[in-house]
Amino acid sequence: MNLLPPALAVAIDSRPRETRDTLFLLAVLAWTLLPQITQVPAWCSALAYAALAWRARLAWRGAALPSRWLLLLALVGASLGTVLSHQTLLGKSAGLTLLVVLAALKTLELRARRDATVVFFLGFFLVLASFLHSQSLLTALAMGISVWTLLAALVLAHMPEDRPPLTLALGLAARLLLTGLPLIVLLFLLFPRVAPLWSLPADGTGRTGLSDRLQLGQVAELAQDDSPALRVQFDGEPPPPELRYFRGPVLADPDGSGWRMRPGLTGEPAPAPAPGAPLLRYRMTVEPLNISTLPLLERARFAPLPAEGHPRWLRHRDGTWMADRPLSGRLQVQAQAVLDMPLHRAPAGAGTGAGAGTSGPAEPAPALHPDLALPDGRHPRTRAWAQAQLDADGRARHEPARAAQQLLDHIRRQPYVYTLAPGESGPEPVDEFWLDRRSGFCEHYASAFVIAMRAVGVPARLITGYQGGRINPVNGMLEVRQSDAHAWAEYHDPRRGWVRIDPTAAVAPERILQPARAGGGGGAIADTFAALDPLLLERMRALWSAADHRWNQWVLGYGSQGQRELARSLGWQMPDATTLARLLAGLIGGFALVGALMLIGPLRRRDPDRLWRQGQVQLREGLRRRGLPVAEHHGPDTLAQQVRQRWGAAGEPLATRLQDLGQWRYARHGQRGALRPLLRQARQALRRLPPS
């Protein structure tokens, strides 16, 4: 099948073989360079593709290649550009830039097979470099095509025919890849993973995600990102959307117009659930989030999978689990949650006291005083409004739940609007949102709620994380994306402890019950599919997401723990790295020996020239035993003449066979017949010779 337009295919076929092979190699390099466009400076990508286009033009026209001085000048300029872009010629980023430039410039001195071999292997290095910043399924598929076509170009360069078809080279390359596939699988399964050199792979640096600080507008930016954040597999039915709150960084300290986390790591275990409380068990794959807090379902009891390379976990006093380093790699965890128990128990000394009744204001425990703090001089109008509103209802000041309900009722009564684009704010964004514009995103509602509750003496804090997600119909997993980033609030009730409340649900309940993908369209191709069938695009996304999860779980997630589980499934208990290395070396040696034996035998049998020489040696020895003096340099025609002189008509059958062997030896390869029957007939004629 020809993928090129007919006119272009005919034009290429009319060119010499060298032109066609060069254009094929340049197309393969252009494809291989695509993943590097976003990883190298813009000038580097422009220079690389300009060099490939120039080389294609020269090949098409059959023009001379540029001088080496011009290439040297381009190389010096690229080196200077690398230093200016990366401040060094060393390191991963600078090395990748130079590799891209060298691979492209090398095509401009593609004169001999040696130069082509260098270009082939530079292409293979580019394939490896692509996995330095991404090990996704899409990258693997794209680079698999690159390996196949690079290998086909290498095969094509060594094919002796005048104009071998590209399909023949592609087929040979595919067979070579399939032949090496068992060894690749064996290396993948058994090669020892030694942390940190081999740990759970990551897609390079972490994606943009949540943070331990929040400025208004930050979560709205995440809502435009539809990349995956969490994939969750529940043991049983998943919880309903209104309970899918994956609690991330707890922001309790005000920071001007934003919030930040409060230090408070502790070695205390998670509180035990009440006897008989139903546990919700789940397994979760966490994408690189670049934060230290692990987003988990509320009321979580967390247990990490025992695998090398995982971080060390500590529990925060606010109930979250934090790692000893940012989550910059993909992570697999298992956890439990109790969705019907209080979020946190009330701290010691936080009883109802005088404030529990109606005779006086509530007085929170000293441990909760930091959760009442507000920055001096900030949010004056919102604070004054909250105090005035709650002063009108004497009971609200003594009952946190009643105060929270009044704030939610106010949101429902007033013309508040939920929007991802509330516009720019002035120096007091919370006051402007709450009292003037009344349009904002979840972080606006949660921030205003916490400020209003603190203004009337109720401890409150802001929570960021993920809410909602959608069930993939292909594999039944809950997929939570960056666009599901959310902010909500918690207030402290002396009788109930910390209570979650989501002010966004008062203005946009559909955001909680059925989260919408806020990331916008998927481009022209996605819009075309959506126009043809509104459900087609969703089905394709679900299939791709399920395949991507399997890739992450079975390939990227396969480490030393997976090796131990594989060994146990085969009846082998806990092999160490040394044992695995010895087993792998033995298996590779066995494969190599079997392969060598499989190759040597057919080569010896199928090499016609070797077989012809062996036959000549046997025939000369047989003639010597019958008394005919023959020399090592005598060919078949000379032997036939000597046989006729010695035996006359009786030696004619052998002489004829010897002449046939001489004709076979000097015939063209395509005109040669079967050699073995000729040798067999010659030996039979030799045995029938009369005695001398």
Q: Indicate left, alpha or beta for 258 from its phi (over 0: left) and psi (-120 to 50: alpha).
A: beta
Contact predicate 176/151, CB 8 Å: yes
- Residue 655: how many other CB atoms lie within 10 Å: 23
Can you point out the beta strands (E) in 296-395?
A: 296-297, 300-304, 313-316, 321-323, 331-337
Distances in whole angstroms, Cα of residue 393 to Cα of each of 445, 462, 493: 22, 25, 18
Cis ω before 196 (30° cut-off from 0): yes
Residue the block writes with tokens 């010895």: 582
Measured CA to CA in angstroms, residue 169 lies from 17, 51, 112, 117, 150 at distances of 13, 26, 19, 16, 10
Give whole-number Cα distances, 178 to 128, 174, 336, 603, 692, in Å: 19, 6, 43, 21, 58
Q: Is 142 left (phi over 0), alpha (psi -120 to 50) or beta?
A: alpha
Written as six digits, the tokens of 55 are 């080389």
> Which residue is catalytic, options 310, 379, 444, 486?
486
Instruction: Work out the widest C-alpha separation in the chain, in whole angstroms.
Output: 140
Active site residue 393: no
Element (H, E) at 76: helix 68-86
**Closest Cα partner for 643 from 575, 578, 692, 589?**
692
Q: Annotated catalytic residue: which of 442, 444, 492, 493?
A: 442
Indicate which residue of 203, 318, 431, 502 is catalytic.
Answer: 502
Reduced to 3 states (helix: H, G, I; strand: E, B; else coil), residue 65 is coil
The residues, ordered by sequence, that sit 6+ positions from 274 with a Cβ below 8 Å of its Cβ are: 338, 341
527 is catalytic: no
Measure the CA–CA gap between 556 and 137, rounded to whole angstroms: 10
How, if at all, do strands 439-440 and 417-418 pair?
parallel
Judge whether 486 counts as a catalytic residue.
yes
Gap between the Cα atoms of 216 and 445, Å rounded: 10
Residues 6+ apart with CB under 8 A from 218: 211, 443
Using DSSP, state whether 228 is helix, strand or coil. strand
- Report whether 410 contacts 438 (CB < 8 A): no
Residues taking part in catalysis: 442, 486, 502
